[in-house]
Amino acid sequence: MPQASPNAAGRLPDASPWDGIAERLRASGLRWTPQRRTLVDVLREHEGHVTATELIARCRERDQTTTPSTVYRTLDVLEDFGLVKHGHGPGGREEYHVLPDQVHGHLHCMACGATWEIRPETGAAIVDALAADLGFAVDLSHVTISGRCRVCRD
Amino acid sequence: MPQASPNAAGRLPDASPWDGIAERLRASGLRWTPQRRTLVDVLREHEGHVTATELIARCRERDQTTTPSTVYRTLDVLEDFGLVKHGHGPGGREEYHVLPDQVHGHLHCMACGATWEIRPETGAAIVDALAADLGFAVDLSHVTISGRCRVCRD
DNA sequence: CATGCTAGTGCAAGTGATTGCAATAGCGAA
DNA sequence: TTCGCTATTGCAATCACTTGCACTAGCATG
Ligand SMILES: [Mn+2]
Ligand SMILES: [Mn+2]
Ligand SMILES: [Zn+2]
Ligand SMILES: [Zn+2]
């Protein structure tokens, strides 16, 4: 019998957005496969921003037979479920944000390569400015703005 | 002898930013080649936004032997001279803006695929918001924001 | 537990873009 | 005009994705 945990009596410990992902997929007529499990395992321990290439590499560490096309397709599915969001770095390469708490855009420093999230208020300012101007409805989650961060702008 | 033109006596007609490009390249130790002339000829009659792929196709119409790598490299050179600027569409693909009158970002409608320039004031609002927030210096010319235009947002 | 429908996988081919390298060809200088 | 230095070119290889297709394998159902 396992030792009693501080999280007593079988109650949910700390719920993760990944919990029940298998069931949620099946509920939509989709399937829970070993390949998807591998990717979700990788994502589960990787909050923040990652490139698709990095994710493929991490999957391959766990399963040597990992195929890029399968990973890309699974990322698309997970994006439909809101578990990841992708944007594009300054080179146009895909960057995934795991578990986006809320819709937000990204900043990328061309000098040091670092990435930040645009804060909600600042994002709202951008959305408002473009709505007022051209009536354009910004998809903030896909916005990556490049430039130079406070440290790198000389 | 050619008939007299309305632009009398050999004075400059309507100056183009492309005028003297050959000399400007040479002045920087660079060279004026047939391949570059082909691309400049294509760009000369193509104000606005184009994808690199379209440019390659247009060059090939004029010179069947056009090579992609040469076009991409020449576009880089022309970008250094400020004659084109590139950004990235929502799929991360390169889009070139020919003869940008001023630094500006772009909007891309995910529904109809159209592209617009962000107006100076609106661009300034974005730059200011991010400067105030994180001290980030936005490279507006590389910004492409996707979303839905007035017509497509239902 | 066995069966069938069909979502998902792997592969190969294709597109867009970048890069190293050897051969070519501008162009400034003689 | 000729010459030589070296910027450019073309090519092949490589990377980041994407897509069509035939085969595999989840999983709902009985
Ligand atoms: Mn870019
Ligand atoms: Mn995208
Ligand atoms: Zn930086
Ligand atoms: Zn539209």
pLDDT tens, position by position, A23-71: 999 999 999 999 999 999 999 998 888 999 999 999 999 999 999 999 9
- Compute the distance between CA of residue B148 and CA of residue A135 in angstroms, rounded to an integer: 9
Taken in order A108, A129, B109, A96, is the CA torsion positive or negative? positive
What is the B74 CA–ligand 4 centroid distance (Å)? 32
Task: Note the CA–C1' distance, B40 to C8, in angstroms.
Answer: 47
Q: Find the ligand nearest to B89 CA.
A: 2
Three-state SS at B117: strand
Q: What angle separates helix B68-80 from helix B34-44, to the nearest 10 degrees?
A: 70
Residue to mutate among A145, A150, A151, A154, with most B CBs inside 10 A, is A145
3-state class percentages of chain A: helix first, strand second, coil last, to nearest 5: 40, 20, 45
User: What is residue B5's predicted lDDT score, i.e. its pLDDT?
Assistant: 44
**Cβ of B144 near strand D (distance < 7 A):** no
Task: Give the residue nearest to nucleotide D16 (CA to C1').
Answer: A93
Three-state SS at B95: strand
**Cβ of A35 near strand C (distance < 7 A):** yes
Give every CB contact of residue A104 below 8 A, 6+ residues apart in sequence: A117, A118, A119, A120, A123, A140, A141
Q: Check CB contact of B24 with chain A, cutoff 8 Å.
A: no
CA proximity to B44, closest of B65, B27, B58: B58
Distance of CA A9 to the CA centre of its chain: 33
What is the A124 CA–ligand 2 centroid distance (Å)? 21
- Compute the distance between CA of residue A37 and CA of residue A54 in angstroms, rounded to an integer: 17
User: What is residue B112's predicted lDDT score, i.e. its pLDDT?
Assistant: 82
A21-25, A104-108, B12-16: the lowest-pLDDT one: B12-16
Task: Note the CA–C1' distance, B40 to D2, in angstroms.
Answer: 31
Q: pLDDT per residue over B62-92, tens digit each? A: 999 999 999 999 999 999 999 999 988 878 8
Strand C footprint nucleotides (protein C-beta < 7 Å): 7-13, 15-20, 25-28
